[in-house]
A and B are shown apart, each in its own frame.
Chain A
Amino acid sequence: MVYKTNIRPAWVVLVLLMIFTLAFTLVKTSDTTPEKKVQTEQIVPTQIDLSKFKNAEENEKCLKCHGQTKYSYENAESKKTVTKRMYAELIMNRDVFYVSNHRQFKCTDCHSEDYGTFPHAGNLRMEAKANCIDCHGGDEKYAKYKFEQIESEFQASVHSETHSKDFTCWMCHNAHTYKINARTNENLKETIVYDNLICLHCHGDVNNYQLLTDKKKPNLLQKHEWLPNQASHFTNVRCIECHAKNEDTLVVAHHIMSKKNAVRKCESCHSKNSILYASLYKHQVSEVIMKEGLVKGLIMADATTIGPDKSNTLNIISIIIFSLTILAIIIHAVLRIKKSV
């Protein structure tokens, strides 16, 4: 049987291209990655088993009012029950508090015992909030988290320098809701969203921004107009990658620099010595390497820096292949010259 194949490859490629386009469109349209739901302020009845927390019963005395969007009390004079709205920032969501790092605390560990009486005395409003270092400083148990270094980086940061005492840990971290993230979360995308939302709390919301300054809030999209593929950058790296001075000894850098010192060179990230390996990917890459082995860890960790080589193994293989090709060419050429063909 004689096969007569005279179909030009160009037609085959054209058909393959059409199939590829079709498949791509189908995959894209069915690409239903659920968007992460933004936590709303609405309080829902808690799903958490409060019996697991030794101070939960005690805390309920506070959360009876502070765990709701409204609270009721009896007016001693009119003998009527009055219902009022709770200020948003005074509401403690049980579902968030009881998964936070401070979940085993009782309210009065940090707040005055005097809050036990209602109405609360006016001077209690002046109560100073404790900062991280107040409890965690000098504690052996927390030594690996390096709170002292965090504190000194923070003191050197532009936030601390510009706003002095007004800018405290609380601006970015709420002790009621704080949950360790970068160190424990294996999902890099979640870490990025988590950390960037901290910055956007003020830099993306003029009301919060102007709590500390009367200046007009810069438009972040305009300020970053020079950045190619802006949306990709905003979702794949954290603000602190370029805006914080990174020390290898801290998991999350706290030395936020002034804008003139921000990283602007593409190759700072898009290169073999990418600063991202010392910051964003530091934890992630080593995790994946431990789990998946070196090659896969380096190539396939969620560390997407387009451009630079990530894998030394692949580099060496390609250099060997290239050298062998050139060697073969040289040998062939020398033989041809010798035989003069």
Chain B
Amino acid sequence: MNHQTEERLYLYPVWIRIWHMMNALLCLTLIITGLSIQFANPNTVVKFNTAVSMHNIAGILLTISYVFFFTGNLFTMNGSHYVIPVKGFMIRMKNQFYYYTIGLFKKENAPYPVTEESKFNPLQQTTYVVLMYAMVPFVILSGWGLLYPDITIKSFVGFSGLDLTDLMHIFAGFTISIIMCVHIYFCTIGKNPLSNFKSMLNGFHESH
């Protein structure tokens, strides 16, 4: 591929870039403050009260940002990237997994290159669907449950409702943190290690 024919796809419209940036900052804030609440002790650097207030505010903003993303995906074409085709799902997952673990090092071509119709590879797509349609709603709902403990169901099959909500919130928060680490690392697999980060600023995807 020479430089003249190099593809530059406009994949990330302004609203997605704004949402993505907001989401990234809020998630980072929530992870940091969340950890300092989780591992609170009277001598921490970040004061507990400050961490709680920041966590609450960031959580509320994340809800707004999520509603924005959710509505966008309901009514714009971006939502179609989140539809997982059922047929051949396992094979495509296997192919992509093979590429990341072996193919990439053999300098093989990516099995599912980025196109305008499908900007996510199968592994990416599945992860994002689980993240955005299971984990994030989960963490937001349980978060509101903890913000207003009085509305949370008192007991559920014999367990304290508040404790279960707490556990759910921590589980979802932890999963999101892990996915975020992997997500940021995988973004270095691009034309060059920084090109994917640039894409999320200017909207253009540069192919390998």
Contact = CB atoms under 8 A, between A and B. Distances in A.
Given A31-B154, A341-B105, A272 B41 contact: yes
A268 interface: yes
Contacts of B206: none
B5 interface: no
Interface in B13-51: 37-42, 44, 48-49
Contacts of B129: 9
A308 B40 contact: yes
A309 B38 contact: yes
B85 to A, nearest CB: 7
A12 interface: yes
Given A8-B74, A333-B185, A232 B41 contact: no
Contact of A339 (B52, B105, B154, B185): B105
A299 B167 CA distance: 9
Given A24-B153, A267-B41, A17 B137 contact: yes
A316 interface: no
Nearest to A5: B86
B80 A8 contact: yes
A335 interface: yes
Given A231-B150, A300-B163, A336 B48 contact: no
B3 interface: no
Contacts of B85: 5
Nearest to A2: B87
Give the contact-size bracket for chain A.
35 or more
A142 interface: no
A270 interface: yes
A82 interface: no
B133 interface: yes
Interface stretch (A95-103, A239-247, A249-257, A320-328): A320-328
Interface residues of B, number: 51
B90 interface: no
A220 interface: no
Nearest to B34: A307
A329 B167 contact: no
Contact of A302 (B79, B150, B160): B160
B149 A229 contact: yes
Nearest to B166: A306
A268 B42 contact: yes
A325 B137 contact: no
Nearest to A339: B105
A210 interface: no
Contact of B105 (A17, A325, A336): A336
Interface string B62-83: 0000000010011000011011
Interface of B: 37-42, 44, 48-49, 52, 70, 73-74, 79-80, 82-87, 100, 104-105, 107, 129, 132-133, 137, 141, 146, 149-151, 153-154, 159-160, 162-163, 166-167, 170, 174, 177-178, 181-182, 185, 188-189
20 contacts: A3-B87, A5-B85, A6-B80, A8-B80, A9-B132, A10-B79, A11-B74, A20-B141, A232-B149, A268-B42, A271-B40, A304-B162, A307-B166, A309-B38, A321-B178, A322-B177, A325-B181, A335-B105, A341-B104, A341-B105
Q: Lowest 9 CB-CB distances: which A-B pairs, in order?
A: A267-B48, A271-B40, A8-B79, A267-B40, A9-B133, A10-B73, A329-B185, A13-B133, A232-B149
Interface of A: 2-3, 5-14, 17, 20, 24, 27-28, 31, 33, 228-229, 231-232, 265-268, 270-273, 299-300, 302, 304, 306-309, 318, 321-322, 325-326, 329, 332-333, 335-336, 339, 341
